[in-house]
Structure 1
Amino acid sequence: MRKFFICTTALFVLFQLTVLCAFGQVTQLAPGVQKIALGTADRFTPYSFCNELPMSEALNQLGPGKLPFNVNDVKININSRGVVVEVPLDDTEQLYGFGMQIGSFNQRGLKKRPIVNDNPLNDLGYTHGPASFYVSNKGYGILINTSRYATFYCGNTAKLNNNRRDVKESNGGNSVEELYKSDNKASGYVTVDIPGAKGIEVFIFEGPDLKTVMQRYNLFSGGGALPAIWGLGVKYRVKADFNQYQVNKMAAYFRDNHIPCDVLGLEPRWQTASYSCSYVWNNSFFPTPDLFVDTMKNKGFHINLWEHAFVSPKSPLYQPLKNKAGNYLVWNGLVPDFADTAAANIFADYHRQTFVKQGISGFKMDECDNSNIAFGSATWSFPELSQFPSGIDGEQMHQLFGLLYQKTIYGIYKKLNQRTYLDVRASNAFASSYPAALYSDTYLHEEYIRMILNSGFAGMIWSPEVRESNTIKDFMRRSQTAVLSAQTLYNSWYLQNPPWLQINKEKNNKDELMENAKQVETDIRKLLNFRMSLIPYLYNAFADYHFKGIPPFRALVMDYPQDKNTFNLSDEYMIGESVLAAPLTEKMDERKVYLPEGTWYDYNTRQKYEGGKYYTIKPDLNQLPIFIKSGTILPLAKPVEYVSPDTKFEITCYVYGRANKATLFEDDGVTFNYEKGAYNSVNLLWEKNKGTVKRAGNFKKSRYVIKNWEIIN
């Protein structure tokens, strides 16, 4: 169990006040953050691996928290089965969270089991990010600090109460409707069942509102991730069996056709062995990898390498890790014991020397999310009964494997003072500070949109990648969503040509392009250029994530927790402070959009709308379905094809309504020097029909040049 008494900030130590209550030891960890502990907590928990210290100053700026119940009303019971936690719940509360949920949004009334799974389905809770953390629109969050398979009953269980008066038998008849009617409205508690545990830690994050809860959680986790600025551009993953020549040819296609792209991702064939992994360049496909990486860098491309953590007998890592791995193999490869610092360091040191120092900018960390536990035939991963040298078992390792994997890789870049933007297929709690976007092999567009919203309740980043599509309409709608997400990613791992040139897989791989390929390419270029224009705004939203804990992508209920129309609204979301996105799917030519209180502007038509109402919109396939809040200064840059270390963004400020100010975060975009104060706040002001720019901070250069101001009334 992590010791919480070492901290470099005296102010933070001040809040570590411990008292005893009837159901456990209560510790005040920070303003608005408490921990209840009872029994002997597990050694391997999500928080035990959180190396980032809470951002004390920012937490203090949030002020004291507030709970709608007394902390002593949280009940913990340790019995022969394990631990049961009961958290008060009133009849009007709405619940969200439980990590990166795919099949549900408002979790009230459901049974949730946040268990890691490579193919999440339905609404039970299987997920790529199994965080045992939920939040309430009443203004608090509960995190059960466990890596065991826990079950949450979200207000759907009723206990026997011997003092309760019996309900009188109804005389309403015996129709089918009467026989199956139930007036039992179970509430009172969220009940958490943690089998096998001998003790537990319960973290409580206080409001007073839903957004503040998430701010506290993210700041307590070390602050939100701030990716390298180039990571907010466009990422394109090439076909799995492309060689060095073919990747160079694809890079030339992007530059020759002026289609934005910052990152090229290499899929499995770059290695000599992939299932399990060798982590050795395949010289028959990439004969000069160092030259290749340098050439790509000179053309403005960052290279991202696909891999997973299961170590092949052909790998140089096999012997060093043989005694630091689990007692079961995966694809005949070792499972490194990432819970052991020594094993993690061996894995990291090899990657640092072999790849990162040679210029590899990031990794796609695949296959770290267990087999599909819904099917008995899905048996590729290690079993729950596995044992590891550190003492962690297979169940806990499954829940933590993706978290520990990304921590290991991210640590390489952090030590080198070099920022990155990673891909990963599993995560867990207290991962807010990791710049790693989750992705999935599932492909339902509606679910991909919902996960953008759910990421805001998880302290995680979600990437609704685009692969092939059934129709051009489907492809364009998916592209709109990708542009309006934390990572714009096209994954063409089984396509010879970009999907916008041919959506049919077989024809694509025969180089048979669509008759209208150039028109679709033009439409995609327009969408991707908008993404590049949005980078300064997005970068500031991620800076707010890091310094203030505000999720850059979040459900409307987080900003409007008292508005009942937002309680179940799972397909609209906020981007930063001022942009509302309402994506469409292939099934839609038009859609209804709910706009909360205030005044909003349609970005495409500039039409003004009164909030608190529903409207119907019909955006074209090459337009973005977004609305801008009145009072906004939206800084949009002249599109660039990629972001280089010396890129200067030429910005037009669009003033919506009676706007008076906005902020841009400015630094070098590639190092962690901002942690030492090397950044600027660029304040944009609109007063008396005049725009002004005021820059303050310690960064000696400038990335933003304000060229124009445009008023939209």
Structure 2
Amino acid sequence: MHSLLRWLFLVAFSLIFSTLFAQNIQWQEIYPGVWKGVAGKPDSYDLLKAADVTPAPALQKMAKADFPLNAQEIHFQLNSGKTYLRFPLERNEQLFGFGLNFQTIHQRGKILQLHADHYGKTDNGRTHAPTPFYVSSSGYGVFVNSAKYMDVYAGSHVRKDAREPAKVMDRNTDNNWEAHPYSDAVEMLIPAEGVEIYIFAGPKPLNAIQRFNLLSGGGCLPPRWGLGFTQRVHRLSTSEQVKQEAKAFEDKGFPLDFIGLEPGWQSKSYPCTFEWDKSRFPDPAKFVKEMDAMGIKINLWTNPYVSPDAAIYQKIKPYTGSHLVWNGIVPDLSMPEASKILFDQFEKEHVKIGVSGYKIDEVDGFDSYVWPDVATFPSGHTSEQIRQTYGLLVQKQSFEMFRRNNMRTYGLVRGSNAGGSSFPYVIYNDNYSHEDFITALINSGYAGVLWTPEVRASKTAEEWLRRFQTVCFSPMAMINAWSSSMEPWTFPEVAPQIKAVAELRMKMMPYWYSEFAKYHYEGIPPFRGMSLEEGFGIDIKKEKTTASLEDNPYAEAVTREVKDQYMAGEYLLVAPLFTGQTTRKVILPKGKWYDFYTGKFVGDGEVISITPGLDQIPVYVKDGGIIPMMPMKLHAPKSGEKVDLEIRHYGEKNSSYKLYDDDGNTFDYEKGMFAWREIKVEKQKNGSFKGSISKEESGKPNNIGAVTWRFMTP
């Protein structure tokens, strides 16, 4: 009897303790509009510790705001060593984020396991960037800082003690019966005894994303050449073949800024030696120097798994995990010793001779390729934690290597996570769906990462051109020809159109560079979904059509998932077409919009139907849009090179734009060596427009030459 009473007492105490503990989250406002809560006992290793970044100064300057949720409705409970979290939802909220998704934008009602992995053609949480951050249409964001896999029920299930009890309906007689009743909470389960939680205020969803990115160090600032054009050559190319490829681009007048070498540059790969294959590249330093003289940077493919034939194998072996990947040992990059050995080798063999960056492969999944969850690592961190952070670690450590050498870099990576927005890497994968590429580009803005809809092997000239058009309105304009050896002019029938859009990419470099500067300094994603655009979904108008189409109210259009159009920078709306499409609908936010190419008015807060033809990707500019452009160049401007500007203005509004300038190559901007020049356009008494640009600041960079103005709207 005594033991039974003791057991009952312990059970009762446990239940009472659990109930009290569920309310025990202490919130502290650590920056304006950013609150940190500690629930239980968090793991000592998490996403922000892996990224190891300093929050951007602009975070401290953001507007103050009230805590955006009811703190009493945020619940934490520890159950069998696992953390349970619950966050309230209102009936009219939509959710965005939960990582880099490829097929869905709206996440409310989804069940996900956030798990670093290769995208397997299903949005189930297993993805290249399983960022545990979501943003609500109501204007707040939530980030759970854990390096463990997370089960997420994003408003998918109904609790019996729900604040808004489920309405019971009879399927037999009620036509409004739903298979998925209304749920008023986001619930998460994390295999840890506690977590850090961050809440971000708005007031708008974009403001919450800004705060999240700024907490992660701000967005990355690529070198100017990183925003030019890149071609990845065949995996077994030689130094002479690479030089011939670059010469062909020059001879045909196609822009090119950096070339990516695939596995064949290494003496052995899968696993890797990280050493040059002297049969293909007999004099690497001379080769890199010759390419640089042609205006071309070199980017190297690699993965981090060390071959027994690598010179660093024995030295790094004590700091590696228990299991092999591609028969190579896996450096535990959470240990400074492993990081130093690996990246000292990279620095000595590559960076010191002028290599500009990396494509870091295979740091995501599949399960059968990377280490299993039973693996152990000498740091003591679990295999799960290493997997969730490995993409962050390779980005962080390679980035710091370039910073030590005062060389900016821009590269590719297969995995990332929360905390990685400041690292100059763009995610890619082996998926071939053009439609999925655009959905991922939209979702990247909610996940704190960059994604490229790279141009890959295409079966037809139309597909090749359509892919090319979208890549020129993305973070990295890249052809990935490691297997196909395809070139921009592979399909002669569309080569002129491809050349035209590649030239447009280069002409727009002042705009792209300024938008990335806003990402860096202000946390505003350069490419983002329509839900983040001011005026989207406001005012219901009927569809404007050029043909007799079915009735489609604007309200219906803006509440569905918009997966095929996106914002590119402050002013541009991009509406790509896919292979086989000749017409499409475009949803214009409230406010006047103009055709990018002609300046003509196209609509205001409505759905338009367009038949644009094959030659151009549809792009629209909001009223007052200012787009700074430069003359077409085959390569990005060099440090100190003066560049003439043509500043375009669209529409009827007076407006202003911040144009960013620095040397484009080094980290001197971190020492204050940068400038913002304000562009203004104002309507005069006679109805014409006049533009002005602020004067250069003494002692600050000034790479601006002659300025001309073009007022696009008739």
- Partners of 2:42 and 2:607 lie apart in 1 by 49
Residue in 1 that maps onto 2:662: 667
Does the C-alpha gap of structure 1 residues 636 and 383 become closer, same or farther in structure 2, counting only changes over 3 Å? Answer: same
Contact 2:68 2:201 in 1 (8 A): no
Contact 2:696 2:702 in 1 (8 A): no
Contact 1:226 1:542 in 2 (8 A): yes
Residue in 2 that maps onto 1:35: 36
In the TM superposition, what whole-angstrom CA distance separates every residue of 1:120-166 from its partner, at most 9, and x where no partner exists? 32221221101111110111111111111111111111122399999
In the TM superposition, what whole-angstrom CA distance separates every residue of 1:455-492 from its partner, at most 9, and x where no partner exists? 11111111111011111111111111100101101001
Residue in 2 that maps onto 1:7: none
Does the C-alpha gap of structure 1 residues 166 and 42 become closer, same or farther in structure 2, counting only changes over 3 Å? Answer: closer
Are positions 1:442 and 2:431 aligned together?
A: yes
Residue 117 of structure 1 and its aligned partner are, at CA, apart by: 1.6
Residue 347 of structure 1 and its aligned partner are, at CA, apart by: 1.2
Residue in 2 that maps onto 1:240: 235
- Partners of 1:123 and 1:454 lie apart in 2 by 12
Residue in 2 that maps onto 1:62: 62
> What are the within-5 Å matches in structure 2 for residues 259-658 of structure 1?
259-371=254-366, 373=367, 379-498=368-487, 500-502=489-491, 517=492, 519-560=493-534, 563=538, 565-567=557-559, 568-643=561-636, 644-657=638-651, 658=653
**TM-score where L is the length of structure 2:** 0.90
Residue 380 of structure 1 and its aligned partner are, at CA, apart by: 2.1
- Partners of 2:707 and 2:165 lie apart in 1 by 73
> What are the within-5 Å matches in structure 2 for residues 13-28 of structure 1?
22-28=23-29
Residue 111 of structure 1 and its aligned partner are, at CA, apart by: 0.8
Q: Secondary structure at the match of 1:204?
A: strand
Does the C-alpha gap of structure 1 residues 169 and 359 become closer, same or farther in structure 2, counting only changes over 3 Å? Answer: closer
Q: Aligned pairs, how many?
A: 667
> What are the within-5 Å matches in structure 2 for residues 116-195 of structure 1?
116-161=116-161, 170=170, 172=172, 181-182=177-178, 185-194=181-190
- Partners of 1:385 and 1:22 lie apart in 2 by 34
- Partners of 1:595 and 1:466 lie apart in 2 by 27
Q: Secondary structure at the match of 2:446?
A: coil
Does the C-alpha gap of structure 1 residues 22 and 252 become closer, same or farther in structure 2, counting only changes over 3 Å? Answer: same
- Partners of 1:367 and 1:624 lie apart in 2 by 33
- Partners of 1:101 and 1:166 lie apart in 2 by 29
Contact 1:67 1:140 in 2 (8 A): no
- Partners of 1:204 and 1:596 lie apart in 2 by 28
- Partners of 1:629 and 1:96 lie apart in 2 by 24
Residue 499 of structure 1 and its aligned partner are, at CA, apart by: 5.3
Q: Secondary structure at the match of 1:645?
A: coil
Instruction: Report the AA paired with residue 309 of structure 1.
Output: P
Instruction: Report the AA paired with residue 34 of structure 2.
Output: V
- Partners of 1:216 and 1:410 lie apart in 2 by 22
Q: Secondary structure at the match of 2:385?
A: helix
Instruction: Report the AA paired with residue 594 of structure 2.
Output: Y
Q: Secondary structure at the match of 1:242?
A: coil
**TM-score where L is the length of structure 1:** 0.90
In the TM superposition, what whole-angstrom CA distance separates every residue of 1:681-712 from its partner, at most 9, and x where no partner exists? 12222233322221344554422224321112
Does the C-alpha gap of structure 1 residues 310 and 167 become closer, same or farther in structure 2, counting only changes over 3 Å? Answer: closer
Are positions 1:52 and 2:46 aligned together?
A: no
When structure 1 is superposed on structure 2, of 84-93 and 394-403 the one drifting more is 394-403
Does the C-alpha gap of structure 1 residues 259 and 166 become closer, same or farther in structure 2, counting only changes over 3 Å? Answer: closer
Residue in 1 that maps onto 2:709: 709
Residue in 2 that maps onto 1:105: 105
Q: Secondary structure at the match of 2:694?
A: strand
- Partners of 2:624 and 2:166 lie apart in 1 by 57
Does the C-alpha gap of structure 1 residues 171 and 338 become closer, same or farther in structure 2, counting only changes over 3 Å? Answer: closer
- Partners of 2:163 and 2:372 lie apart in 1 by 46
Residue in 2 that maps onto 1:514: none
Unpaired runs of at least 5, structure 2: 1-20, 539-554
In the TM superposition, what whole-angstrom CA distance separates every residue of 1:332-366 from its partner, at most 9, and x where no partner exists? 21100011122112211111111101100000000
Q: Secondary structure at the match of 1:400?
A: helix
Residue 625 of structure 1 and its aligned partner are, at CA, apart by: 1.3
Contact 1:680 1:695 in 2 (8 A): no
2:250 counterpart (252, 255, 267): 255
Q: Secondary structure at the match of 2:285?
A: helix
Residue 602 of structure 1 and its aligned partner are, at CA, apart by: 1.0
- Partners of 1:538 and 1:162 lie apart in 2 by 47
| Residue identity (%) | 36
Instruction: Report the AA paired with residue 410 of structure 2.
Output: Y
Residue in 2 that maps onto 1:511: none
Q: Secondary structure at the match of 1:115?
A: strand
Residue 167 of structure 1 and its aligned partner are, at CA, apart by: 7.2
Contact 1:666 1:702 in 2 (8 A): yes
Does the C-alpha gap of structure 1 residues 552 and 699 become closer, same or farther in structure 2, counting only changes over 3 Å? Answer: farther
Q: Secondary structure at the match of 2:143?
A: strand
When structure 1 is superposed on structure 2, of 250-259 and 691-700 the one drifting more is 691-700
Contact 1:33 1:205 in 2 (8 A): yes
- Partners of 1:496 and 1:111 lie apart in 2 by 40
In the TM superposition, what whole-angstrom CA distance separates every residue of 1:406-440 from its partner, at most 9, and x where no partner exists? 11111101122211101000000011100100001
> What are the within-5 Å matches in structure 2 for residues 194-213 of structure 1?
194=190, 196-213=191-208
Does the C-alpha gap of structure 1 residues 319 and 208 become closer, same or farther in structure 2, counting only changes over 3 Å? Answer: same
Residue 182 of structure 1 and its aligned partner are, at CA, apart by: 3.5
- Partners of 2:530 and 2:389 lie apart in 1 by 30
Residue 23 of structure 1 and its aligned partner are, at CA, apart by: 2.1
When structure 1 is superposed on structure 2, of 24-33 and 356-365 the one drifting more is 24-33
